[in-house]
Structure 1
């Protein structure tokens, strides 16, 4: 089927808007390629340092400069369950490369923090900035001019976007992303959430809560809900930079190791030393970015990607906006119900048809570009296939013709909802986002008085004191990128979920983030401009009536316009916390951009001809509709 006209129009608008910066980015790639493989430029001293620790076979191949060398960037640590399997991947990749007459070296490691460990803790204030640190660390690892292609080992929240941004800075090199796969199912996510809510109500002991959490997070592999980590994997496949069907193969299965070896082999095939050169920066174009957003909407993925994929796009010279995402969401149907949008975990999603089924449905409906080049032979259509292990090697079969479980995955002609998982909200408070797919229709509209706090812990104290109104909108401000690094506020979910279960109408409005696991409660998040930049959210006062309508796309404070305009900005009353390393990120907080521009704290994307960095004006929007143009926009940083 031909491409949906609105998908085509949105892609073209992104292409036109991005033309100058994309051209500059591609020109940089061409300049980097002009002199051929980089190892040939190294002096004898440079090269001797680079292969000093290698064995005789690898040293001989690197000395000869005629066989490809893979650079591995790893986010391994054994505290993250999703990254613990990466411990042995470098050796598997080296062995696979040697068997094929090539070499592989670990080029560097990047930090990988776990938001599940830091939720509600001071460490969460480092979380978002870790993405930019990972991008910089990736660039450091690849800066040695030793590599013909790169392999990136990462799964979780900020880690994959950071690896992508760093890899795109070396977009003249092919890049293959390799996941570790999800852990096997534990207790149902719904049961875990129920225990959390009972604990918040004082009806469950800490021992009961720990038992439930341990039964859910119980083994190596990605957490099994469809949060940011698992959304990452689907988006990588949607852009064609991870092997088809690689996302949800459990770590202990033989197919997992076979896919890792196949990824190494494919990376070797697509270097400039062969006849199938596929540099990353050419693969990730406007079509690939649109495909990623379409996949996010169709699967009800993590809200964090409304920030991360703007940064990823800009690293490739592409200007993606919240308006683009909102317009795509309004035409892309919701095809999956995976927790927190349903009760199934990602293992059940994979068994029901998984990404291959979803991608085929989207492409057949004209809702996804199927004409872009990918790391896989066969282009995007290869991603409508599933891997199998046959005689020790990876083979592919077509995706299932019909969903094996229509409570989890549905065809495009019979979706769960006609629109996608996310919606842009506009009003006199600025702009924000809501994850509609996780909120039941009866809770998508609320009008209630504001309870205003500057620290999430205060809300729990108000509840303990019996000081919360029957119905209310919790306004948690000074949680944006500039204020404190934009921590996730998932620790509020058990309390607000408990109150909603009691029949009370509650909602959350914040300039902070929510976890990719958050759902159930209507939440306007990423409010921009943030309070720390003097955004309207800082004018809200206790008891102000707030109207949040997720389906209409509005977020408003019901205050007389003259009074609203005359109000001053309330100061931040949140108590100062212990540093815990946060003092090291003061520069990031000072220079970070707004959430709707990716919350970027580094120079991201191509340089201008004079060496300066491209800047993007949030108000510049080709084809901007009247409502969007009238909405408040944040002033561009100096």
Structure 2
């Protein structure tokens, strides 16, 4: 099947726009590999330090410098349910390497915080910046020049993007990502949400709420809804960086350890020491980035990736914009309904056909690139399902038809003709909305603004009976420069409760919303943010706001004369508790805007004055049809 013309056009625009940066990036990683494996250039003292703690077998192999050495970057901790299984992965990998005449070492650990624990807490202000800290920790771990390939053990929200950015900084090394899989089903996510809303209404006790939460988050593995963590896994497979079909195999299944061993074996097979060298910096090009976004749209994945994958692309010398994401979303149909876009969890999604079904549909429709991956066979290999045969890994074709059309459908019978996200434009700036989880009747609202700088103020206004019947909650000074751009998922129960009562409500913010959020129309990641002098700071209580998700519009219905005359309102939110916040003051000062990846580190080839050398490809207020039409790159 030939590539869809819009997918071809947007890929070519990204390629042309990125040419200078991409060339500089590839030149850098090729130079790093020009003289062969780095370990051969270590001094005797360097090398002796590196293998001092190894056993005799590993030490002998490292001394001889004739075999591959795998670096393991581990995001293990036993507070994150998704990362707890990683405790035993290094030994599995080390033993596999020894069995194949190679070696493996834990190169380093990276921090891994849980957004589920920090939701609504001061610690959430460190969450987004943890991604960049993880990237830096990854680079530190790989800085010893000891490794011929790397295995990345990570699953959750900021951890995978951070690992990817760090891996791309060492783009001359092959990279294989190794997940841990989702926990088995608990109580249905819809039931959990209902208890949360009853608690917000004062109709459920804290004991009832805790029981529901504990029944949902009940075991090792990722949370079972389709939030940022599980979206990470789908995007990694869409770029060909994990073993095919590994995303949604539960931690306690025998197949899980077999896939981990297979990942280590494949990493050894693609080093520069052999004849099938596949460095990550060459695998991740503009086609891989487009594949990731196409998969995100087809499955209705997390809004967080509109920030993270801009940063990931930048780490590979590729300039991805929100306009590109919007065009892809208008081209790729929605093929999956997984909570919060539907009732199913990711286990049911996998049983219905999962990534294998979705990828085959996208490839057959020309909506995804077939490209080189960490395994032979390109993206078609990711349309096959892993199986155990006599204790060994085997692959079988994915199912030809959906096993549950309430969860997964073919392109010919998609849930919606467009993908899960839309870019909104207007006099308030640019923002994104997750349409896949919002029913059609709620995708348009025109209502007065309730303006707060502290998200907790909304609950207080509700308790006092001061919220209008219909309103748009405007929560500003929540962007990356202001306070690190925390997720505002704690607002979901209240706003969901009010919508259930027949009231029309929406959220507009320069902050983020959890990848698990849906149901309520929410214009998020608004940029420029209020702390940068964005027009969000001009809004006043009672201003009429129009949010039209279908037509990509977000605007304050205020006359241009009055709007231009208004002063920016100061931030009135109370001072945040510190809890380590002072350590990230520099990050807040230098962070790029949300549509440029919210980066607090220099990533990829240099950028200047805190911004990249490109303009938005489309002007504010352009129609969706114009945005989807071919444009000539301004800097090509």
Match of 1:73 in 2: 73
Q: Aligned partners of 2:18, 2:27: CA distance in 1, in Å?
A: 14
1:74-89 alignment to 2 at 5 Å? 74-89=74-89
Q: Aligned partners of 1:324, 1:304: CA distance in 2, in Å?
A: 16
Match of 1:91 in 2: 91
Match of 1:324 in 2: 324
Match of 1:636 in 2: none
Q: Aligned partners of 2:514, 2:508: CA distance in 1, in Å?
A: 14
Q: Report the CA distance between 1:614 and its aligned residue.
A: 9.4
1:241-256 alignment to 2 at 5 Å? 241-256=241-256
Q: Aligned partners of 1:615, 1:567: CA distance in 2, in Å?
A: 27
Q: Report the CA distance between 1:622 and its aligned residue.
A: 8.3
Match of 1:456 in 2: 455
Match of 2:633 in 1: none
Q: Report the CA distance between 1:59 and its aligned residue.
A: 0.3
In structure 1, stretches of 5+ residues that fail to align are 632-638
Instruction: Report the secondary structure of 2:32's partner residue.
Output: helix
Match of 1:62 in 2: 62
Of the three residues 607, 616, 619, the one matched with 2:612 is 616
User: CA offsets, 1:414-471, max 9 Å, x none?
Assistant: 0000000000000000000000000000000000000000010000000010000000
CA gap 1:590/1:629 in 2 versus in 1, 3 angstroms:
farther
Instruction: Report the secondary structure of 1:548's partner residue.
Output: strand
1:479 aligns with 2:478: yes
Q: 8 Å contact 1:93–1:260 — kept in the other structure?
A: yes
Instruction: Report the secondary structure of 1:327's partner residue.
Output: helix
Q: Aligned partners of 2:614, 2:404: CA distance in 1, in Å?
A: 42
Match of 1:365 in 2: 365
TM-score, scaled relative to structure 2: 0.97
1:253-268 alignment to 2 at 5 Å? 253-268=253-268
Q: Aligned partners of 1:438, 1:624: CA distance in 2, in Å?
A: 25
Match of 2:632 in 1: none
Match of 1:554 in 2: 553
User: CA offsets, 1:70-105, max 9 Å, x none?
Assistant: 000000000000000000000000001000000000
Q: Report the CA distance between 1:539 and its aligned residue.
A: 0.3
Q: Aligned partners of 1:249, 1:189: CA distance in 2, in Å?
A: 19
User: CA offsets, 1:143-173, max 9 Å, x none?
Assistant: 0000000000000000000000000000000
Q: 8 Å contact 1:21–1:614 — kept in the other structure?
A: no
1:404 aligns with 2:400: no
CA gap 1:623/1:571 in 2 versus in 1, 3 angstroms:
closer
Q: Aligned partners of 2:16, 2:353: CA distance in 1, in Å?
A: 36
1:442 aligns with 2:441: yes
CA gap 1:514/1:624 in 2 versus in 1, 3 angstroms:
closer
Q: 8 Å contact 1:606–1:614 — kept in the other structure?
A: no
Instruction: Report the secondary structure of 1:151's partner residue.
Output: strand
Q: Aligned partners of 1:628, 1:485: CA distance in 2, in Å?
A: 31
User: CA offsets, 1:14-43, max 9 Å, x none?
Assistant: 000000000000000111011100000000
CA gap 1:620/1:524 in 2 versus in 1, 3 angstroms:
closer
Q: 8 Å contact 1:606–1:613 — kept in the other structure?
A: no
1:179-218 alignment to 2 at 5 Å? 179-218=179-218
Q: Report the CA distance between 1:393 and its aligned residue.
A: 1.4
CA gap 1:578/1:150 in 2 versus in 1, 3 angstroms:
same
CA gap 1:613/1:253 in 2 versus in 1, 3 angstroms:
farther
Q: 8 Å contact 1:605–1:614 — kept in the other structure?
A: no
Q: 8 Å contact 2:29–2:172 — kept in the other structure?
A: yes
1:356 aligns with 2:352: no
Match of 1:302 in 2: 302
Match of 1:374 in 2: 373
Q: Report the CA distance between 1:392 and its aligned residue.
A: 1.5
Match of 2:152 in 1: 152
CA gap 1:171/1:81 in 2 versus in 1, 3 angstroms:
same
User: CA offsets, 1:594-635, max 9 Å, x none?
Assistant: 000000000000248xxx79952452538999559999xxxx
Match of 1:578 in 2: 577
Q: Aligned partners of 2:37, 2:382: CA distance in 1, in Å?
A: 30
CA gap 1:283/1:503 in 2 versus in 1, 3 angstroms:
same
Q: 8 Å contact 1:13–1:622 — kept in the other structure?
A: no
Q: Report the CA distance between 1:54 and its aligned residue.
A: 0.2
Q: Report the CA distance between 1:190 and its aligned residue.
A: 0.2
Match of 2:130 in 1: 130
Q: Aligned partners of 1:383, 1:38: CA distance in 2, in Å?
A: 32
Q: Aligned partners of 1:118, 1:233: CA distance in 2, in Å?
A: 22
Q: Aligned partners of 1:508, 1:626: CA distance in 2, in Å?
A: 23
Q: 8 Å contact 1:486–1:511 — kept in the other structure?
A: yes
Q: Aligned partners of 2:234, 2:55: CA distance in 1, in Å?
A: 38
Match of 2:489 in 1: 490
Match of 2:519 in 1: 520
Q: Aligned partners of 2:276, 2:389: CA distance in 1, in Å?
A: 25
Q: Aligned partners of 1:91, 1:347: CA distance in 2, in Å?
A: 27
Q: Report the CA distance between 1:225 and its aligned residue.
A: 0.1
Q: Aligned partners of 1:527, 1:533: CA distance in 2, in Å?
A: 11
Match of 1:339 in 2: 339
Q: Aligned partners of 1:324, 1:37: CA distance in 2, in Å?
A: 37
Instruction: Report the secondary structure of 2:106's partner residue.
Output: strand
1:40 aligns with 2:40: yes
Match of 1:635 in 2: none
Q: Report the CA distance between 1:394 and its aligned residue.
A: 1.1
Instruction: Report the secondary structure of 2:343's partner residue.
Output: coil
User: CA offsets, 1:505-529, max 9 Å, x none?
Assistant: 0000000000000000000000000
Q: Aligned partners of 2:502, 2:611: CA distance in 1, in Å?
A: 47
1:12 aligns with 2:12: yes
CA gap 1:404/1:459 in 2 versus in 1, 3 angstroms:
same
User: CA offsets, 1:552-574, max 9 Å, x none?
Assistant: 10001000101001100000000
Instruction: Report the secondary structure of 1:437's partner residue.
Output: coil
Q: Report the CA distance between 1:179 and its aligned residue.
A: 0.1
Instruction: Report the secondary structure of 1:499's partner residue.
Output: helix
Instruction: Report the secondary structure of 1:389's partner residue.
Output: strand
Q: 8 Å contact 1:430–1:528 — kept in the other structure?
A: yes
Q: 8 Å contact 1:17–1:622 — kept in the other structure?
A: no
Q: Aligned partners of 1:413, 1:561: CA distance in 2, in Å?
A: 45
Q: 8 Å contact 1:24–1:607 — kept in the other structure?
A: no
Instruction: Report the secondary structure of 2:503's partner residue.
Output: coil
User: CA offsets, 1:317-356, max 9 Å, x none?
Assistant: 0000000000000010000000000000000000000000
**What do you get for the CA RMSD once the two structures are aligned?**
1.5
Instruction: Report the secondary structure of 1:455's partner residue.
Output: coil
Q: 8 Å contact 1:109–1:137 — kept in the other structure?
A: yes
Q: Aligned partners of 2:491, 2:580: CA distance in 1, in Å?
A: 24
In structure 2, stretches of 5+ residues that fail to align are 628-636
1:161 aligns with 2:161: yes
Q: 8 Å contact 1:173–1:280 — kept in the other structure?
A: yes
4+ residue segments displaced more than 6 Å: 622-625, 628-631
Match of 1:509 in 2: 508
